[in-house]
């Protein structure tokens, strides 16, 4: 079998970075990593700075993509305007495929990263456990536009498509602000530095609701499985750790991990309360000899507010991926502790 050639977009994000690390460790792949800045990973891969929002730039650099066999599209741009959110995220994918398809004669598969927003969890209560064939919610949702585009673009072609639908992706992703373990950890260490106990910032309903997350290394293995298993062609799969947590059970364990007392639960708008903590973080970097990471790149407090705002269960059904042959799982509580240990060992967070 000829060597597979992976093209990873969004290679510095928590999804792309962990997929890049997985493929480097797995071997047997030639890898092209597309991102604005080069991923901070050692290994045998090529970095390409392609502006996916610019169709002309995609076309100019298409010749560099002629050997690609597998696309893993994890690029994402945040937009406050819903129309721009849909248009720009759909355009990045379409610009890439329209440049790639004519030149990559060995293209076999295109995988696109989606998530639980497919089921409308960002709009409020949704049917749980969510299944892949649940009806769509009222648009806009760029996931729908991307999937419909790929379905049409791949029709009658040599390549197939797939999509993962994880929730709250957690991994090694410094510089990826939408990374829940980092949000939790930075909130804890800043609180501790101020001499405060650990206070749960969400609502009472959120504190008691069921919640799920997806380990980024597990997700990477699932993405490769979907992209190389013929039975997964043109399918979408919910991918989570396979277990559920309640913050009310985990929060005391988190406090013990960080050596903190517990405070009574009280709703806090993190985006407001933590906005002025940049100077404190800079002081901590100097005091504890931490790896220099800018405060805005460290976490997205708006993402934290989104996590702690839902007053309903977040549950995806993962029976489909099991039926198709992906049986891996991860213990969520152990995952948080493992990742925090990694952040501390890497000098990103204090002990």
Domains annotated on the chain, with CATH:
4-168+214-238 (3.40.50.720), 174-213+243-314+330-345 (no CATH)
Query: Please, what is the average pLDDT of the chain?
Result: 96
Q: Are the C-beta atoms of residues 185 and 208 closer than 8 Å to each other?
A: no
pLDDT at residue 82, as a whole number: 95
Q: Which neighbouring-strand residues pair with 215?
A: 170
Enclosing H/E stretch for 297: helix 295-298
pTM exceeds 0.85 for this model: yes
pLDDT at residue 173, as a whole number: 64
Q: Are the C-beta atoms of residues 143 and 164 closer than 8 Å to each other?
A: no
Enclosing H/E stretch for 85: helix 82-100
Rg of the chain taking only CA atoms, in angstroms: 20
Could you tell me which residues come within 8 angstroms of residue 336 by beta carbon, excluding any fewer than 6 positions away?
170, 181, 184, 250, 254
pLDDT at residue 324, as a whole number: 98
Q: Which residues in 95-133 are b (16+ Cβ under 10 Å) and which e? A: bbbebbbeebeebbbbbbbbbbbbbbbeeeebebbbebe
Low-confidence ranges of the chain (pLDDT < 50): 1
Q: Which neighbouring-strand residues pair with 30?
A: 5
Of the candidates 41, 145, 32, 167, the residue with the CA atom closest to the CA atom of residue 94: 145
Q: What is the C-alpha to C-alpha distance for residues 2 and 283, in angstroms, rounded to an integer?
A: 52
pLDDT at residue 3, as a whole number: 87
Q: How far is CA 48 from CA 108, 237, 271, in A?
A: 21, 29, 33
Beta strands across the sheet bearing 46-48: 46-48, 29-34, 4-9, 70-73, 109-113, 160-165, 235-238
Strands 160-165 and 109-113 turn out to be: parallel
Q: What is the C-alpha to C-alpha distance for residues 3 and 204, in angstroms, rounded to an integer?
A: 52
């Amino acid at each position: 079998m000829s060597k597979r050639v992976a093209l990873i977009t969004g290679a510095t994000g928590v999804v792309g970075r962990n997929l890049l690390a997985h493929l480097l460790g797995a071997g047997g792949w030639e890898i092209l990593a597309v991102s604005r800045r080069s991923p901070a990973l050692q290994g045998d891969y090529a970095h390409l700075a392609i502006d996916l929002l610019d169709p002309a730039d995609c076309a100019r650099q298409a010749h560099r993509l002629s050997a690609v066999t597998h696309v893993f599209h994890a690029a994402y741009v945040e937009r406050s305007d819903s129309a721009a959110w849909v248009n720009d995220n759909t355009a990045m994918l379409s610009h890439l495929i329209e440049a790639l398809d004519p030149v990559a004669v060995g293209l076999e598969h295109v995988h696109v990263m989606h998530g639980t927003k497919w089921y409308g969890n960002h709009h409020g209560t949704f049917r749980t456990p969510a299944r892949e064939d649940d009806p769509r919610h009222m648009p806009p949702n760029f996931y729908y536009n991307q999937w419909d585009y790929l379905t049409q673009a791949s029709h009658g072609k040599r390549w197939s498509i797939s999509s993962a639908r994880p929730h709250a992706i957690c991994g090694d992703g410094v510089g990826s602000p939408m990374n829940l373990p980092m949000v939790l950890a930075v909130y804890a260490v800043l609180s501790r530095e101020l001499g405060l106990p650990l206070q749960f910032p969400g609502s009472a309903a959120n504190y008691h609701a069921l919640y799920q997350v997806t380990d980024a290394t597990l997700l990477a293995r699932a993405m490769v499985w979907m992209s190389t298993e013929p039975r997964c062609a043109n399918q979408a799969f919910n991918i989570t750790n396979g277990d559920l947590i309640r913050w009310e059970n985990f929060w005391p364990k988190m406090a013990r991990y960080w050596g903190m007392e517990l405070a009574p639960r009280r709703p806090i708008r993190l985006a407001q309360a933590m906005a002025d903590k940049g100077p404190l973080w800079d002081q901590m970097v100097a005091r504890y000899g931490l790896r220099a990471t800018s405060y805005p790149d460290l976490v997205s407090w708006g993402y934290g507010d989104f996590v702690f705002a839902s007053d309903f269960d977040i549950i995806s059904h993962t029976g489909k991926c099991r039926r198709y042959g992906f049986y891996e799982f991860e213990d969520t509580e152990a995952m948080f502790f493992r990742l925090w240990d990694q952040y501390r060992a890497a000098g990103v967070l204090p002990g």
